[in-house]
Amino acid sequence: MNIIKGLIVKDFQTIKSYKSTIFFMILLFVVCSFLSNNFVISLSVFMPLLFGMLGLSSFSYDDLAKVDKYVLTFPVNKKDVVKARYMYILIVTLSGTVLGLIFTILAQGIKTSSFFDKEFLSSVLASVIGSSVGIMFIQSLQIPIMYKFGAEKGRIIQMIMIVVLMIGISLIVTTLMNFLGISLENLLSMLKNYLIVILGITMIAMYLLSFIISCKIYCKKEI
């Protein structure tokens, strides 16, 4: 476990060296969001996205100093390296989820003097979770691509893949709905009560599948 901890500490120590830039970026983002009329959307949706991207940037930092090769001289194996990277990205993304929630509630509280409005809370929770699931979906696609092609090349391939996937999924879903004669509203209301559970299970399954694929890619990769 110490080895996994060491690998996660390595990523956190590396990102810590950019702490003033990151802090300034978050501060600017929070202040701008607070001043805008759409602060709920800005904070609750974009905060998890921002942190999710921050987690993924660990690939670029490692590429810069060719850290991978050096790390493999430690008493670690390639599977440990992949496992620790997924855990690190998950921790950073979930921190964004929690911070997004806190900042949005604080902003609402300061603006309206009411911190715990039930309806408001449930809508914030839905948008924070929705955005976190969204970024985790992207991550589960992007991490194996990063392992396969490296941080720079991986980013371009990932963008192409997301566009293709979005178009593909929407085409399949629309065709399927037309075929079954269901409208989008109907579908959503049917799924409403189970949406969180479905999203949760899908996310865990995607993350696990992504982890298995990344392990296979990285174990075969010539560093």
Partner 1 sequence: MENVLEVKDLCKKYMGFELKNVNFIIPKGMIIGLIGENGAGKTTTIKAILNIIDKDKGQVKIFGLDLQQNEKKIKQDIGVVLDDSFLSEYLNPKSISKIMKNFYPNWDEKLYFKYLEKFELPLDKISKEFSSGMKMKLKIATAISHKPKLLILDEPTSGLDPVARNDILDIFQEFIEDGEHSILLSSHITSDLEHIADYITFINNGEIIFTKPKDELTENFGIVKCDENDFQKFNKNDYVKYKKNKYEYDVLIENKYEFKRKYDISVIDKPSIEDIMLIYIKGEK
Which residues of the shown chain bind partner 1 in the complex (CB under 8 A)?
Answer: 2-3, 5-6, 9-10, 13-14, 16-18, 61-62, 64-70, 72-77, 222-223
What single-letter amino acid sits at 189? S
Q: What's the min distance (Å) between Cβ of 2 and partner 1?
A: 5
- How is residue 217 written in tokens? 């890619």
* CB-nearer residue toward partner 1: 111 or 221: 221
Q: What's the min distance (Å) between Cβ of 78 and partner 1?
A: 10
Secondary structure element (H or E) that encloses residue 44, with its range: helix 39-56
Per DSSP, the residues of 119-157 read: HHHHHHHHHHHHHHHHHHHHHHHHHHHHHHH-HHHHHHH
* CB-nearer residue toward partner 1: 185 or 222: 222
- How is residue 54 written in tokens? 């921050």
Distance in angstroms (rounded) separating the CA atoms of residues 167 and 173: 10
* CB-nearer residue toward partner 1: 28 or 65: 65
User: How many Cβ atoms from other residues are within 10 Å of residue 22's Cβ?
Assistant: 16
* CB-nearer residue toward partner 1: 18 or 194: 18
First to last CA, the chain: 24
| Angle between the N-to-C axes of helices 78-112 and 195-220, in degrees from 0 to 180, rounded to the nearest 10 | 150
Q: What's the min distance (Å) between Cβ of 158 and partner 1?
A: 23
* CB-nearer residue toward partner 1: 63 or 117: 63
* CB-nearer residue toward partner 1: 16 or 153: 16
Q: What's the min distance (Å) between Cβ of 88 and partner 1?
A: 13
Q: What's the min distance (Å) between Cβ of 21 and partner 1?
A: 11
Distance in angstroms (rounded) separating the CA atoms of residues 203 and 130: 11
Q: What's the min distance (Å) between Cβ of 165 and partner 1?
A: 32
